[in-house]
Amino acid sequence: MILKFSKAPILALALLLGVAACGAKASTGAVDYSVSAQKNYEKGVKELEGKDWVAASKYFAFIKSRFPYSKYAVLAELRLADAEFGAEQYLEAVDSYRLFIKFHPTHEMVSNGYATFKIGDSYFRQLSGDFWLFPPSYEKDQSSTEDAANELKSFLDKFPDSPYRPKAKEILVAVGKRLADHEWYVARYYWDRGKPMGTVLRLRRLLEKYRGVGYDIEALWLLGRAYVAVDMPDRARLSWQELVSKFPASNRAGDAKDALASLAPPKANPR
């Protein structure tokens, strides 16, 4: 005999386990269904606002099952993704938002960028934080961080008028800082181990992709030193000149001026 299970209790159980695992306030999951799709949707939204993700998911799954041709059935699909997001089931939320975009490409919550923004936000939210028992996040593989950056950049490119742009930009700054932290860590790793070319490559990448997040001054200073170490004094000069020009009041400007004075004059171009 083949047993068939409804998606509603399965999703509710998954969300409940997710809430328990992340230490959030436990959900009661209590529901009181109404006879109309609209009333059930309103109740589901109220549960979302109250962060009872299990109860919310039950209402939205009920709408999809009992009122499949209602406009609220489409909205319920999106709100189920929101419930997964709220319960910190971010990978599941990403899949749900993608499916919503695929099957409802002209829906208002797709055309205004909401669903796409939530995908980028989901990738960002699943990034691990720092915990004293584990290595710092900047020492770890950054594939997930790069995924978050790519999704958010794609959102900003596709939706120039979306009301979610300010929040996306704010998140992208945080993502860029994490990626810059990693590049700086690796650059220092190579430098401390006597591998200046590795330092050069990492610092160039940092300065090309993550300007303005806090490393410009130190990166330009160390880049100049690394160029000297690989016998590329002309490039060292350019790095230190940029440091002095753009950050004249920094604590490294004086060091850069002294270093520039110690460099041999640039070679004249042969005629």
How far is the first Cα of the chain from the last one, in angstroms, to the nearest whole number? 90
Note the pTM of the prediction, 2 decimals: 0.74
Which band of pLDDT confidence, cut at 50, 70 and 90, is reported for residue 143? Answer: confident
User: Do 58 and 84 form a contact (C-beta atoms < 8 A)?
Assistant: no
CA distances to 25, 59, 81, 202, 225 from 54, in Å: 12, 9, 12, 45, 57
Domain ranges for the chain:
1-87
Which band of pLDDT confidence, cut at 50, 70 and 90, is reported for residue 20? Answer: very low
Residue 13 has pLDDT above 50, yes or no: no
Which band of pLDDT confidence, cut at 50, 70 and 90, is reported for residue 4? Answer: very low
Residue 19 has pLDDT above 50, yes or no: no
Q: State both tokens at 93.
A: 């939320």
The DSSP code for 268 is P
User: Do 93 and 121 form a contact (C-beta atoms < 8 A)?
Assistant: no
Which band of pLDDT confidence, cut at 50, 70 and 90, is reported for residue 146? Answer: confident
The pLDDT of residue 47: 96
Residue 150 has pLDDT above 90, yes or no: yes
pLDDT single digits (tens) 246-264? 999 999 999 999 999 999 7
User: Do 124 and 174 form a contact (C-beta atoms < 8 A)?
Assistant: yes
User: Could you give the residue ranges of the DSSP H alpha helices within the chain?
Assistant: 7-21, 37-49, 53-66, 71-86, 90-103, 108-111, 114-125, 143-158, 165-192, 196-209, 216-229, 233-246, 253-262
- Least confident segment among 41-55, 126-140, 182-196: 126-140
